[in-house]
Amino acid sequence: MARKTVRRKKAVKKRVVRKKTTARKKTVKRKAVKRKAVKRKATRKKTTARKKTVKRKAVKRKAVKRKATRKKTVKRKAAKKTVRKKAVKRKVKRKGTKRKPSAKFMAPLKVSSALEAVVGKGPLPRTQVTKKLWVYIKKHKLQDPQNRRNIVPDAKLAKVFGGKKAISMFQMTKLVSKHLG
């Protein structure tokens, strides 16, 4: 019987030792987990601090840029105001007198018989001739509907334009000048 009790005591000791070693292992694991958590927190704090400093620097840069652009815009506005003031002064000076076209430009010219049928009788300045031509063109709807720059002449205008089928408005003045003299 003595042997049985010794064996039991040894078995109990082994169990106690096992419990102690498992408890030690658990505490070691807990400590390791805590250390890792502390390291993670520290690295998080560092990264967040870095991010915050980077953001602060970026915000400062933007603020500096805004100030610089504001200064530039203020300078531009001030320059525009001075230019406007000068322009207003000029306008005030010129207000009493109207702009007069040159005498050669407004000189009445003789109109050919072909052009007289469209525009009317009498010597007329170039400006009046072109105005009356446009009145005639719009009244008789002679502009091309797809391309409003082109004029499709009727029988009277065809004599003035030299019998061409379609003429651009830029060619019109050249052809009309042949009938003025």
Q: Is residue 78 part of a domain?
A: no
Helix (H), strand (E), coil (C) string for the chain:
CHHHHHHHHHHHHHHHHHHHHHHHHHHHHHHHHHHHHHHHHHHHHHHHHHHHHHHHHHHHHHHHHHHHHHHHHHHHHHHHHHHHHHHHHHHHHHCCCCCCCCHHHHCCECECHHHHHHHCCCCECHHHHHHHHHHHHHHCCCECCCCCCEECCCHHHHHHCCCCCCEEHHHHHHHHHCCEC
Please tell me the pTM assigned to this model.
0.46
Instruction: Tell me the pLDDT tens digit for each residue of 23-34.
Output: 777 788 888 888
> Do both 22 and 64 map to the same domain?
yes
Instruction: Tell me the pLDDT tens digit for each residue of 12-69.
Output: 777 777 777 777 777 888 888 888 888 887 788 778 878 788 888 888 888 888 888 8
Q: Which of 70, 87, 114 is the last residue of a domain?
A: 70
Count how many domains the chain has.
Answer: 2
Name the residue range of residue 142's domain: 103-177
